[in-house]
């Protein structure tokens, strides 16, 4: 059964076994099915039971083994999501009844996705796990918008921030002054709801209200949209444009690079808006 991996032409031993009773925690990437890893495809092809979250693109499930059972564990139709504890218990139950269990999560399972908590519970229950990372929305989603997470001329650090903490309020454990001073680029997940508060804190901590911001929603998907705005206007611009989650929000001058690097628009025939969006060659010799 474990010989069913999808890449017979690659050396045996490349592909880990998926024994019965294991839970394989897999990052599905931000949406575009092509961003699934080869380890991910291998796991999907072997899984007996797949438990997946909201934000996992359902096209990916089409690669499952015929007959595999599929369970949805996310929020749908405005109903609250199942409690984390009950998801973990369900994974344990499926594994202990002999299934190869694939726990499929959006993006990367260990980035703002509670994958760490689930994995801890599984290990505590004695269930063997394997973890395969996925492309996280805060990097891969920005790349689809033509925004590099880092660029030598802009930032030597990037900070990933969640827009709310466990209580559902704006994150409370952030030192906003330290963040504002130390991280030229800030990438925020789940930040639409509390964005007005967050941007006000950053501006109060010294960030320039005219700093560029991009809001990338449904990143990597056919209905992806990118809103370019500024720190001072971002919250009102999101409301005015009716932008809905899921969205990643990038604050910082790497956003300007989109004027050159919006490759998706260029593939549609649009010319780059600028070849020097950081203004580096205005005064320097360009030869
Ligand atoms: N583990 C995931 C993040 C889960 S938290 C990862 O690594 O990407 C959910 C948040 O991720 C969303 O609120 C949004 O901020 C971001 N996100 C996930 N998929 C996205 C997508 N396709 N486009 C934009 N943002 C996305």
pLDDT, tens digit (0-9, with 9 covering 90-100), for 125-163:
999 999 999 999 999 999 999 999 999 999 999 999 999
Using the predicted structure, report yes or no on whether residue 62 has a pLDDT greater than 90.
Answer: yes
pLDDT of residue 4: 62
Pocket test for ligand 1, best of 189, 195, 217, 221 (most atoms within 8 A of CB): 189
CA nearest to 189, candidates 111, 75, 103, 82:
111
Residues 153-183: tens digit of each pLDDT: 999 999 999 998 888 888 989 999 999 999 9
pLDDT of residue 3: 53
Lowest mean pLDDT among 42-46, 62-66, 75-79: 75-79
Distance CA 19, CA 94 (A): 13
Question: How much is the pTM?
Answer: 0.94
Distance CA 163, CA 106 (A): 17
Give residue limits of the domains in the chain: 2-135, 138-267
pLDDT of residue 168: 84
CATH assignment of 2-135, among 3.40.50.450, 2.60.40.10, 3.30.428.10, 3.40.1010.10: 3.40.1010.10
The fold adopted by the segment(s) 138-267 is 3.30.950
Which of these is catalytic: 22, 32, 48, 53?
53
The answer to whether 55 and 107 have CB atoms below 8 angstroms apart is yes
Separation of 246 CA from ligand 1 center, angstroms?
6
Show the tokens assigned to 138.
Answer: 């805060």
List the Cα angle 212/57/99 in 5-degree steps: 135
Residues pairing with 27 in the sheet: 105
Q: Is 188 assigned a catalytic role?
A: no
């Amino acid at each position: 059964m474990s010989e069913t991996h999808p890449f017979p032409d690659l050396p045996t031993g490349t592909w880990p076994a998926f024994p019965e009773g294991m839970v394989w925690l897999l990052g599905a990437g931000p949406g575009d099915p092509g961003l699934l890893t080869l380890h991910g495809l291998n796991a999907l092809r072997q899984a007996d039971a797949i438990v997946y979250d909201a934000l996992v693109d359902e096209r990916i499930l089409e690669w499952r083994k015929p007959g595999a059972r599929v369970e949805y564990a996310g929020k749908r139709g405005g109903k609250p999501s199942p409690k984390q504890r009950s998801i973990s218990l369900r994974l344990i139950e499926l594994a202990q009844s002999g299934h190869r269990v694939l726990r499929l999560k959006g993006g990367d399972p260990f980035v703002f996705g509670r994958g760490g908590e689930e994995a801890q519970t599984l290990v505590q229950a004695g269930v063997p796990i394997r973890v395969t990372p996925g492309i996280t929305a805060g990097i891969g989603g920005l790349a689809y918008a033509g925004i590099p997470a880092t660029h030598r001329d802009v930032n030597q650090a990037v900070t990933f921030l969640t827009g709310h903490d466990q209580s559902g309020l704006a994150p409370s454990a952030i030192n906003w002054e330290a963040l504002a001073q130390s991280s030229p680029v800030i990438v925020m997940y789940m930040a639409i709801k509390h964005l007005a508060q967050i941007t006000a804190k950053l501006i109060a901590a010294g960030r320039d209200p005219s700093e560029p911001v991009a809001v990338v929603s449904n990143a990597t998907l056919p209905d992806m949209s990118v809103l370019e705005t500024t720190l001072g206007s971002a919250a009102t611009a999101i409301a005015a444009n009716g932008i809905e989650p899921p969205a990643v929000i990038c604050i910082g001058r790497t956003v300007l690079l989109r004027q050159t690097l919006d490759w998706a628009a260029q593939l549609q025939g649009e010319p780059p808006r600028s070849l020097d969006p950081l203004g580096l060659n205005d005064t320097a010799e360009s030869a």
